[in-house]
């Protein structure tokens, strides 16, 4: 069975600083990987996704993520954080097959200081 | 497209009452998923449907929970009787099937409070 670990429960950064959110996965085959963001009281919005190809993936809102098979990681990065990026971020791994059921990590809450 | 629509957005009920949550998936999507989000357990998959047929309900916590999808544009998640520990945010998501990297689109969620 697949699993996802997000080791950082809460991260605080200053506006304009760089950001990296960690994600480690466990899956027996080539994983389908996703990062979602959840603002307070909202549903989840997809930031980016990866299955194959270039291991550096660009997403919306200036986010990018790098797939590292050797480390079973899919870390999310942003070079300069904006106050509006404050939210909870979820990494997810999708199972194979057409359904592609998602297993989510426990999430990382991002606080942005002015 | 309006996205995934869920109703109600908030539900407050008393223990023992029946609760019905509703979901309208994105038109053309053939997979529908129900999730529950709590502080203790995070996001959990409860059940998913493919072409209106329930495929995997292993995440449904107990017999008090049931889900139906009578047609391609409507699904319900019912809790009967409800208990305080059912308090959570329930999300519906839909996805276009196939071999591509098609993501799940989430609704805004229903926040359920059982008193």
A7-40 pLDDT, tens digit per residue, is 999 999 999 999 999 999 998 777 889 999 999 8
Say if residue B81 is preceded by a cis peptide, omega within 30 of 0: yes
B103 with B40: CB under 8 angstroms? Answer: no
> At residue A111, does pLDDT exceed 70?
yes
Average pLDDT over residues B74-90: 97
Average pLDDT over residues A40-46: 90
Record: contact A104-B50, CB cut-off 8 A: no
Mutation for testing the B interface, residue in A100, A105, A109 having most B CBs under 10 Å: A100
Residue that is written with structure tokens 């300069």 in the block: A80
Q: pLDDT tier at A110 (50, 70, 90 boundaries)?
A: very high
Mutation for testing the B interface, residue in A101, A103, A104, A107 having most B CBs under 10 Å: A101
> At residue B99, does pLDDT exceed 90?
no
* pLDDT, tens only, A49-105: 998 888 899 999 999 999 999 999 999 999 999 999 999 999 999 876 666 788 999
- CA separation for the pair B47, B90 (Å, rounded): 12
- CA separation for the pair B45, B34 (Å, rounded): 6
Task: Supply the pLDDT for residue A58.
Answer: 96
Eight-class DSSP state of B54: E
Instruction: Identify which of A34, A98, A104 has the shortest CB distance to residue B103.
Output: A34
* pLDDT, tens only, B12-40: 999 999 999 999 999 999 999 999 999 99
In 3D space, the residue among A67, A71, A75, A77 whose CA is nearest the CA of residue A31 turns out to be: A67
The per-residue pLDDT of chain B, averaged, comes to: 94
More confident residue, A70 or A1: A70
Interchain contact A74–B (C-beta under 8 A): no
A78 with A65: CB under 8 angstroms? Answer: no
Interchain contact A104–B (C-beta under 8 A): yes
Record: contact B108-A43, CB cut-off 8 A: yes
Instruction: Identify which of A49, A99, A104 has the shortest CB distance to residue B43.
Output: A104
Residue that is written with structure tokens 């603002």 in the block: A39
Residue that is written with structure tokens 């059982």 in the block: B114
Instruction: Identify which of A51, A90, A105 has the shortest CB distance to residue B101.
Output: A51
Task: Supply the pLDDT for residue A98.
Answer: 64
Record: contact B108-A42, CB cut-off 8 A: yes
Interchain contact B108–A (C-beta under 8 A): yes
Record: contact B48-A104, CB cut-off 8 A: no
Token pair, residue A102, equals 């998602």
Interchain contact A45–B (C-beta under 8 A): yes
Q: pLDDT tier at B102 (50, 70, 90 boundaries)?
A: confident
Give the chain B residue whose CA is nearest to the CA of A48: B103
Q: pLDDT tier at A42 (50, 70, 90 boundaries)?
A: confident
């Amino acid at each position: 069975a697949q699993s996802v670990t997000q080791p950082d429960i809460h991260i605080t950064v200053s506006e304009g600083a760089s950001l990296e959110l960690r994600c480690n996965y466990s899956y027996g085959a080539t994983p389908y990987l996703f990062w979602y963001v959840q603002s307070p009281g909202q549903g989840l919005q997809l930031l980016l996704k990866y299955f194959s190809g270039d291991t550096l993936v660009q997403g919306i809102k200036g986010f990018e993520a790098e797939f590292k098979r050797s480390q079973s990681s899919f870390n999310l990065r942003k070079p300069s954080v904006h106050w509006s990026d404050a939210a909870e971020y979820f990494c997810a791994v999708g199972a194979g097959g057409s359904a592609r059921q998602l297993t989510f990590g426990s999430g990382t809450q991002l606080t942005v200081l002015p | 497209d309006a996205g995934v629509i869920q109703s109600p957005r908030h539900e407050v009920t008393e223990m023992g009452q029946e609760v019905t949550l509703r979901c309208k998936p994105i038109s053309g999507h053939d997979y529908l998923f129900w999730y529950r989000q709590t502080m203790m357990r995070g996001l959990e998959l409860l059940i998913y449907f493919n072409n209106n047929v329930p495929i995997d309900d292993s995440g449904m916590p107990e017999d008090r929970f049931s889900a139906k999808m009578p047609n391609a544009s409507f699904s319900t998640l019912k809790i009967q009787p409800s208990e305080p520990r059912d308090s959570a945010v329930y999300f519906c998501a839909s996805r276009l099937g196939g071999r591509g990297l098609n993501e799940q689109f989430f609704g805004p969620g229903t926040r359920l409070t059982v008193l």
